[in-house]
Chains A and B, each alone.
Chain A
Amino acid sequence: MVTFQFVPYQDIELLSSAKRINKLLNIVKENKIVVMEGKLKKEEEADLIEITMEEISPKFKGIEISVVNPDKNKQNVGQKIKGVFANMLLGDRIGMTIVGPASVVKKIEQNPDKIELFTKENSKSPKKRYRKKKK
């Protein structure tokens, strides 16, 4: 079973960078995949990687992260202008950030307009039971 936890931007908007990162990492360490509205600042992404490395342990192997932004190349002029105003008003609220524990998420592949999340296969297959047929 894979658990996704949605984090609306308003939950982290007023937090400091350190508290934002701690909040996301604490959810990830519960073996949940975070789906966060919006995105972190670039410096916060680097801090997230740094703090993840500090927290690496036998139980916590790290994270997989992916940020989805609207693909500007596929927008027409009107959409691009709207995008500029949206950016001015909403800033980091645009887009989506996915962070998952390395123990659950094998990898996240992103193209400009799609994300593919590969989870680790359950290596323990159920044992088959055989019964001898009575003659």
Chain B
Amino acid sequence: MVKKFLKKLFKKLRFNPFGRKSHVKLGLYGPPNGGKSTLANRICLDWLDEEMSSVSHIAHETREIVIKEQVNIKNKKGKELTFSLVDTPGIATRIDYEDFLKRGMKKTVAKKRAKEATKGVIDSIKWLDSMDSVVVVLDSTKDPYSQVNITIIGNLQARDIPVLIAANKVDLKRANIEAIKAAFPQYEIIGISAKYGKNIEDFYEELFKVAK
């Protein structure tokens, strides 16, 4: 019990006398279609020359946890950071196969996608405990005050997991980073376009602060 208390205290002070963590898990969390997989691919293309996830305009494209080990990035000062990148299924409170039918999918494919998506959400929530740091990827063209966003960030805060909020899709006209900053004023927020790489260098700099 004493060891647990000391571990929690040192974590708060960001001090680890028990040795450096060699295996940092950085998770990408958020609602569906926010751009988590696009960001995962951007990171992997920039540093590993390969993609890791499939992307789509249809929600719930990522339906299972995808991990890329040993992602090594460098900042402008030459400092290195190595982590395992974890792309997670988008968290939602409702899944209806009829939404996929409207996107032109056949009934059997839509039902299968919906079933896989529900399992994906369950896995995402279960994996929260395993994360060392998290980037919450939000679509900056959408209302940030959704309960899913508040629940995800609240749970990370309750688990003392460092959070960086990436306000994605800033390339779009409807993007509104100020709304996200107003909704979550206590967190570091960086506006990016994962698709086109806008502001991605600043994003990597912020990663060094979050993923320790």
Contact = CB atoms under 8 A, between A and B. Distances in A.
A70 to B, nearest CB: 15
A65 B158 contact: no
B96 interface: yes
A21 interface: no
Nearest to A50: B125
Interface residues of A, number: 25
A86 B121 CA distance: 35
B155 A108 contact: no
Contact of A49 (B91, B145, B146, B158): B91
A49 B125 contact: yes
A62 to B, nearest CB: 3
A108 B150 CA distance: 13
B contacts with A: majority SS: helix
A61 B94 contact: yes
Contacts of A102: 93-94, 96
B131 to A, nearest CB: 13
A53 B114 CA distance: 10
B121 A53 contact: yes
Contacts of A66: 147
A63 B93 CA distance: 6
Contacts of B93: 49, 52, 62-65, 102
A67 B150 contact: yes
Interface string A50-88: 101110100001111111000000000000000000000
Interface string B90-104: 011111100000000
Given A46-B128, A49-B125, A53-B122, A64 B155 contact: no
B151 A42 contact: yes
Contacts of A63: 93-94
Given A45-B154, A54-B118, A56-B95, 20 more contacts: A42-B154, A45-B151, A49-B125, A49-B151, A56-B114, A61-B95, A61-B96, A62-B92, A62-B93, A62-B94, A63-B94, A65-B147, A66-B147, A67-B150, A102-B94, A102-B96, A108-B147, A109-B145, A110-B145, A110-B147
Interface of B: 91-96, 114, 118-119, 121-122, 125-126, 128, 143, 145-148, 150-151, 154-155, 157-158
**Top 7 closest A-B pairs, CB basis?**
A62-B94, A42-B154, A102-B94, A53-B118, A45-B151, A61-B96, A42-B158
Interface of A: 41-43, 45-47, 49-50, 52-54, 56, 61-67, 102, 108-112
